[in-house]
Amino acid sequence: MSKVGIIGYGVVGSGTVELFEKNKESISKKVGRDCDIKYICDLRDFPGDPFEDKLVKDFNVILNDEEIEVVAEVVGGATFAYEYTKKLLERGKSVVTSNKELVATHGAELLSIARAHNCNYLFEASVGGGIPIIRPLNKCLAGNEIEQISGILNGTTNFILSKMIKDQMDFESALKMAQELGYAEKDPTADVEGHDACRKICILGSLAYGKQIYPETVHCSGISRITLDDVEYAENAGYAIKLIGSVKPAGEGHVSAIVCPRLVSKSNLLASVDDVYNAISVTGDGVGDVLFYGQGAGKLPTASAVVGDIIDCLKHHNRVLAMSWEDSHDKSYVVDYKTQETSMYVRIKAEDADALKPAISEMFGKLMYIERAGRPENELAFITPNMVEADIDTNLTILSHSCEIASKIRLL
């Protein structure tokens, strides 16, 4: 019989146990032998829990049990989880995880340890919750050169922006609702400032381009400064504002990666992704554009991906699955985002904003001005042509001597 261990009995851990036990018979058929969860490791007590007999508090019980073939690490973070994962892989036990921080920070090292010890490190649940994206990138799309990956990678921010767009709620009110519904943490910083999405795009980029992209090398900005004024201008111009993580080749063996709010054209399918849903667009030179869509978080959707990885590891016991990327210590691997071309939505405030139009046109050339109902005389919004971002910033610095730069948002 194949034995499995679970480390962490929180939302994802309990969901993993629930789904595994519910579908144990069909899982055993897929694996080709009987399977069972032997241990659930957590420091807390769960009196009366239906799986109380499987609960242990000592990680070493799982580590030292030779019957355990696969361990699901759903603790989170990159401290204890890192040490646990290393020790398990070094013992030849495969590890599956939903821990995006750990994969984004130590993925290359842990994949290398797994290969060296004839086991696997799988992390389908680390990006997009229940949305299959890691396997398709690694297998189905492996024959393509990936030209770009762009996606809505965080359900909390997408929910907040959806409320701002559809219900005209301001940011603070939408955030409060997200917290009340359990979509946002008490401290929402990782979500609303883009750190969560950043870790996910780092994982996708590392897999697609074969070299570790570290979160600290990726420019990241969140949605906390988006206003209803920006939402209205975007809507009138045919765009929706979304927090987008993107990565693409930047020539000479480098990549461009960034997480930021963007104006997304209504003709782009990403613009219609609302509520807590995620969507990831992948462009390959052979397949063209493909879109992966679904619930990006939640107890059972994430557990679905964890259990899928457990099955994969059990089916391929003592056989390494082909998934890896190189470590990267070259800080220039991710290019400076200011050197990349983009088009920018800009909103300014001045005593007589319209009077600045000639100067703005002289700076940027052909651009598009945007209107909204009841636009104040002291406000002006426009979209720049496609330019190197550093040049846009230079022009805006000059312009700021005559007005306030109230907002700027990149276009996708």
136-158 pLDDT per residue, tens = 999 999 999 999 999 999 999 99
Structure confidence at residue 4 (pLDDT): 98
Residue 365 predicted with pLDDT over 90:
yes
Model confidence pLDDT, tens digit, residues 147-197: 999 999 999 999 999 999 999 999 999 999 999 998 888 999 999 999 999
Rg (CA), the chain: 23
The residue-averaged pLDDT of 196-215 equals: 97
Task: Look up the pTM and report it.
Answer: 0.95
Phi/psi of residue 156, nearest 5 degrees: -65, -50
Q: Could you give the CA distance from residue 384 to residue 360 in angstroms, rounded to a whole number? A: 10
Q: Could you give the CA distance from residue 82 to residue 105 in angstroms, rounded to a whole number? A: 10
Phi/psi of residue 82, nearest 5 degrees: -65, -45
Comparing 167-176, 269-278, 294-303, 352-361, which segment has the lowest mean pLDDT? 294-303
Residue 118 predicted with pLDDT over 90:
yes
Bridge partners (DSSP) of residue 292 are 280
Structure confidence at residue 16 (pLDDT): 97
Bridge partners (DSSP) of residue 146 are 284
Q: Which residue has the tokens 């959806």?
A: 162
Structure confidence at residue 295 (pLDDT): 86
Where do the domains of the chain lie, and which CATH numbers do they carry? 2-129+300-315 (3.40.50.720), 134-295 (3.30.360.10), 339-411 (3.30.70.1150)
Model confidence pLDDT, tens digit, residues 208-230: 999 999 999 999 999 999 999 99
Residue 19 predicted with pLDDT over 90:
yes
In 3D space, the residue among 16, 4, 7 whose CA is nearest the CA of residue 298 turns out to be 16
Positions marked catalytic: 200
Q: Could you give the CA distance from residue 209 to residue 300 in angstroms, rounded to a whole number? A: 30
In 3D space, the residue among 215, 92, 211 whose CA is nearest the CA of residue 153 turns out to be 215
CA dihedral sign, ordered 188, 194, 197, 202: negative
Structure confidence at residue 400 (pLDDT): 96
Residue 281 predicted with pLDDT over 90:
yes
The residue-averaged pLDDT of 294-320 equals: 92
Structure confidence at residue 129 (pLDDT): 87
- Is the CB of residue 323 less than 8 Å from the CB of residue 114? no
Across the chain, what does the average pLDDT equal? 95
Residue 383 predicted with pLDDT over 90:
yes
